[in-house]
Structure 1
Amino acid sequence: MCIPVTNHRDTEPIQILLVEDNPGDVRLVEEAFREAGVETTFHTAHDGDTALEFLRDQRADVDPSDLSLVLLDLNLPRTSGFDVLEAIKTEPDVSAPPVLVLTSSEATEDIARSYELCANAYLTKPSDPDEFTEIGRAVEAFWFDEATLPPASA
């Protein structure tokens, strides 16, 4: 069973958990959202263990930061992106807003497994750094302007 999520858009910056071990890709993603005009606060985890710790802390926090989205790489040190998705799907103390896999893999089996583990979308990292801006615009336009998601209590 996939975790229900909420979606809200107000005047506060969008809170995104970016799970990425490559500092260059972290910089490209952050710049892409800035260039796309998306006011964003990034929380960065450089491995799956740190991401799961952050999500568990969010769940336990009485005043969470209203995390809006997770951008998840699959190829991570220690705990893989697949393991993070599995934990979100199965562990009651881990929950997350929409999870968008953002990875370099174009393998059909990685795409299928991500969706089986309830990823909300699968995006392949562009090879051209300028194309990251288009991803930022597309994510903002769809996930924050167009999509209506079920309430957390659903």
Structure 2
Amino acid sequence: MKKFKVLMIEDNPGDVLLTTEALEESKYVVDIDVATNGKDGVDFLFQNGNYKNATRPDLVLLDINLPLKTGHQVLQEIKSNPQTRDIPVIMLTTSSTQDDILTSYQEQASCYIVKPSEADQYREFIQVFDRFCGTFDQ
């Protein structure tokens, strides 16, 4: 079974904790790195500054509402660069607006998931995550 290296770009420590705990229940082995703002997320992906030795992730979990660079700006940078454009990006955010959903898909997000508001709702997130990862495990 494939081990997935995931970069989570999220500024809310509570959401990081809930997502990390939920991913421990995934049927896949998941190694998670966290960037707490959009700039650090981009630096991690492009191995700049403090992240010169960072390993590129297999998958990015990306919030929209981030400090320094928004999730949409980060997604545009990922998808406009030949080195990173093939990395799948799952938007994992509190926004359920049609505008954010449509914009994310236009910017080539692989999937859009509204963050669960309760800890037990993360089971649904894990089911979606596992199905998504299963497409790469074949």
> TM range, normalised to the smaller chain?
0.7 to 0.9
SS of the aligned residue for 2:33 comes to strand
CA distance in 2, matches of 1:115, 1:53: 23
Deviation sequence 1:62-115 (CA, Å, 0-9, x none): x97452210000000010000001111224465451000000001000001001
CA contact (8 A) 1:126 1:132 kept: yes
CA contact (8 A) 1:18 1:42 kept: yes
Q: Structure 1 runs of 4+ off > 6 angstroms?
A: none
CA distance in 2, matches of 1:80, 1:102: 13
Corresponding residue to 1:35 among 10, 13, 25:
25
Corresponding residue to 2:7 among 17, 28, 36:
17
CA distance in 2, matches of 1:64, 1:30: 19
The corresponding residue for 1:80 is 70
CA distance in 1, matches of 2:26, 2:69: 31
Corresponding residue to 1:68 among 24, 36, 58:
58
CA contact (8 A) 1:17 1:43 kept: yes
The percent of aligned pairs where both chains have the same amino acid is: 34
CA contact (8 A) 2:9 2:38 kept: yes
RMSD of the TM alignment (CA)?
2.4
TM-score normalised per structure 1: 0.77
CA distance in 2, matches of 1:38, 1:46: 24
What amino acid is aligned across from residue 107 of structure 1 in structure 2?
T
CA distance in 1, matches of 2:88, 2:112: 11
The corresponding residue for 1:146 is 135
C-alpha distance 94-37 of structure 1, shift in aligned 2 (>3 A): closer
What amino acid is aligned across from residue 68 of structure 2 in structure 1?
R
CA contact (8 A) 1:72 1:100 kept: yes
TM-score normalised per structure 2: 0.86
Unaligned runs of 5+ in 2: none
C-alpha distance 96-75 of structure 1, shift in aligned 2 (>3 A): farther
Count how many residue pairs are aligned between Structure 1 and Structure 2: 135
SS of the aligned residue for 2:31 comes to strand
